[in-house]
Amino acid sequence: MSVLSSRVRYAKYLDRLAKPHEVVKWFKHGDTVAWSGFTPVGSPKVVPEALADYVEQNNLQGKLQFDLFVGASSVEHIENRWAQLGMISRRTPYQSGKQIAGGINTGRIRFIDVHLSMWPLNMMYGFYTTPNNSNRLDVAVVEATAITDDGMIVPAGAVGGMPEMLMLADKVIIELNTAVRSFEGMHDILVPQLPPYSQPFFLTKVSDRIGMPYVSVDPAKVVAIVESKVADVTGPNTPEDAKSRAIAGHLVDFLEHEVSSGRIPKNLHPLQSGVGNICNAVIAGLANSKFEDLTVWTEVLQDSFLDFFDSGKLTHASSTSIKFSPKAFDQFYSRWDEYKDKITLRPQHISNHPELVRRLGLIAMNTPVEVDIYGHANSSNVLGSRIINGIGGSGDFLRNSKLSIIHTPSTRNDNKLSCIVPFVSHVDHTEHDLDVIVTEQGLADLRGLAPRERARLIIAKCAHPEYKPLLSEYLDIAESLALRTGAGHEPHSLRHAFKMYINYEDSGTMKLSSWH
């Protein structure tokens, strides 16, 4: 028996086996197309490539376009290829890749940036398909690692928005990936009822399970089963550096202080961590700390979480996706029996659900582009206009967690860019949502402080020494002007607030010679 036939246990699907190029007929210009996945993991690989081949071979650039919905980012080189070929008209809710970001920033691709917890439900409400007067998707292409006896889908290492996609799609194409092992048993799938019939999620700890180990689909919608033999396309994780390790040290010290003060328990609260080298360093720092019996409730698990498990400090992790480097995937698969019962993969509407984040009392830790002196954070748009990836899930966690922590280097680009500024050029997270700001310089605990107190503390603890005098002088100017006019609650001088950005655009550095 072949691997494919052993994984597809629903016999009727075997009559729908197709080659990648044979499913092109199911797509037409203007369709709303959904891909599974969350990060490159769990994304379809051979069908999107076949569509790109078809466009390229038939000179259909810009003539076969789709509104593309993916739970978060996907396989970067495939999505970049679609962008280069003019195949993406509209994209939501998050993306990565130079070509697609370039298409968005040059106006060729319309991008809808959305909190990742809200996106699946908004999709079910029909918010993104209102121009078509419909809440339907034309085609969903989803990756599976197995098909159950009754035709249900066992996803790979990511769930994302797959349950909602399968409910809304008129046609479903399943890529059965035989290059990766079956993930059967690792998922906890529950599709919410919509208001006014929605029900609470009966989940009070990270390891609770409330749903099914597969994603439901109407077998009548499934038009094709395509075998994929392409492993998940991931690269190495960004390595730690001196700055990220310093940030991790400040955070571990802070958490130890919170425990000694009685504000959090000895095993902390469930931890949420974003992606990148700072997050990896923080997880490594916790793995080497004195804390024990820890849990994680997050949206993406990176390499450092395997070391966290191996340290014996981490007991269970819940996520919507794993994103391991190739080397870490080898470790994960070779020691499957050690890890499989310690990880639960859920839909993103649950992994990022604001009420669950608040109920579990999460400690949320994420990296922005920049933070201003009052505690507003920009996670998505450089210099106010140029999109990088999107807000992602950071807002879901930071707005609703018990402890909202933002960590960033104090400067970037050889100190030419300060990550602490007078007023952020784009606001994703407001001052009301953030409790703690950390850089390699130090940590500012903002809880219980008024705006002017926060500003002094952020400058003193978090700003780079080369920018502290500049930021302090700005605050003095803003306070002087605002207090004279009776507007001193959160002082700003609009004549000066963005001058550091303007100087960077003109001179290549935020270091001003003078505010005047």
Pairwise CA distance, residues 460 & 439, whole Å:
11
Pairwise CA distance, residues 323 & 73, whole Å:
11
Q: Is 333 within a domain?
A: yes
Strand order in the sheet with 271-273: 343-345, 314-319, 294-297, 271-273, 363-366, 403-407, 436-439, 442-445
Q: Is 491 within a domain?
A: no
In angstroms, the first-to-last Cα distance of the chain is: 78
Whether 113 and 142 map to the same domain: the answer is yes
Q: Which of 367, 423, 383, 504 is nearest to 105 (CA)?
A: 383
Whether 332 and 401 map to the same domain: the answer is yes
Whether 131 and 42 map to the same domain: the answer is yes
Domain end (from 228, 260, 282): 228
Whether 201 and 249 map to the same domain: the answer is no
Whether 202 and 311 map to the same domain: the answer is no
Q: Is 501 within a domain?
A: no
Is 186 in contact with 345 (CB distance < 8 Å)?
A: yes
Q: Residues 492, 498, 504, CA angle at the centre, nearest 5°?
A: 150
Catalytic status, residue 370: no
Q: Is 515 within a domain?
A: no
Whether 222 and 311 map to the same domain: the answer is no
Q: Is 424 within a domain?
A: yes
- Over residues 222-263, the pLDDT tens digits come to 999 999 999 998 888 777 889 999 999 999 999 999 999 999
Q: Is 510 within a domain?
A: no
Looking at residue 61, its amino acid is Q
Lowest-confidence range among 272-276, 368-372, 499-503?
A: 272-276
Whether 15 and 89 map to the same domain: the answer is yes
Q: Is 161 within a domain?
A: yes
- Over residues 48-66, the pLDDT tens digits come to 999 999 999 999 999 999 9
Domain end (from 198, 228, 258): 228
Strand order in the sheet with 137-144: 17-18, 222-228, 169-177, 137-144, 32-35, 66-70, 88-92, 110-111
Whether 250 and 392 map to the same domain: the answer is yes
Higher local confidence (pLDDT), 130 or 403: 403
Domain end (from 178, 199, 228): 228
Whether 196 and 259 map to the same domain: the answer is no
Position 474 pLDDT exceeds 60? yes
Pairwise CA distance, residues 418 & 119, whole Å:
32
Pairwise CA distance, residues 209 & 201, whole Å:
10
Q: Which two tokens stand for residue 305?
A: 């979480």
pLDDT band at 1 (very low <50, low <70, confident <90, very high): low
pLDDT band at 146 (very low <50, low <70, confident <90, very high): very high
Whether 277 and 301 map to the same domain: the answer is yes
Position 216 pLDDT exceeds 80? yes
Q: Is 512 within a domain?
A: no
Residue that the structure tokens 């050029």 belong to: 425
In sequence order, which residues have a C-beta less than 8 Å from that of residue 112 and are 6 or more positions away? 90, 91, 92, 93, 128
Whether 165 and 311 map to the same domain: the answer is no
Is 100 in contact with 67 (CB distance < 8 Å)?
A: no
Pairwise CA distance, residues 69 & 14, whole Å:
28
Which one is catalytic: 49, 175, 299, 440? Answer: 299
CATH of the domain at 387: 3.40.1080.10
- Over residues 42-52, the pLDDT tens digits come to 999 999 999 99
C-alpha Rg value of the chain to the nearest Å? 24
What residue numbers bound the domain in which 64 lies?
A: 3-228
Beta strands in 338-467 (DSSP E): 343-345, 363-366, 370-372, 377-378, 381-382, 386-387, 403-407, 411-412, 417-418, 420-421, 436-439, 442-445
Whether 272 and 177 map to the same domain: the answer is no
**Domain total of the chain:** 2
